[in-house]
Amino acid sequence: MEGSINRDLWREILSSKLPGEKAQFMMAPTFRGVFRNDKDPIRAAVLILLYPSNEKTRLVFIKRNEYDGPHSAQVSLPGGAWEKKDGSMKNTAIRETPLTELLDPRNLDSERMLRHGQSIEAPFYRVGKEKIWGATAMILSEFLQLASILQ
């Protein structure tokens, strides 16, 4: 998708009839069409976040933590299964677009690293099992200082 994001066009597209299952099943695993579940469906919501960058429209994904389960280490959209603490489906969709988590001082850490033959102390933000450090952490630090004003 080239160019800037036309919000009015997206509103129009999203307010019309959506392609639904026909489009979804194009990328479904082969067993998906015959999968049956007698349980109530799981409430879930995800966020498709678009942003313009260098004359192109970009899309945000996250990488799930590694754990003993079916979605371990998968690249996915932010959000997922609804949790009581979310309160709303909107909050479910945006909960992994990590501002609250990053503002939590318990997720700020550092470790000694060997870089260019020198032992350095490198601060980082811990998000699940991932570490955000270096230039990204430095930029994020400035952004989080601004964001903390809004909290």
pLDDT grade for 45, boundaries at 50, 70 and 90: very high
- Distance, CA of 61 to CA of 69 (rounded, Å): 19
pLDDT grade for 150, boundaries at 50, 70 and 90: low
- Distance, CA of 2 to CA of 61 (rounded, Å): 19
pLDDT in tens, 104-113: 889 899 998 8
pLDDT in tens, 70-104: 778 888 888 888 999 899 999 989 887 877 778 88
Beta bridge pairs of residue 130: 127
- Distance, CA of 87 to CA of 92 (rounded, Å): 8
Residue bearing the bigger pLDDT, 114 or 89: 89
| pLDDT at 1 exceeding the cut of 60 | no
pLDDT, mean over the chain = 82
According to the model, what pLDDT value does residue 34 have? 58
- Distance, CA of 47 to CA of 90 (rounded, Å): 9
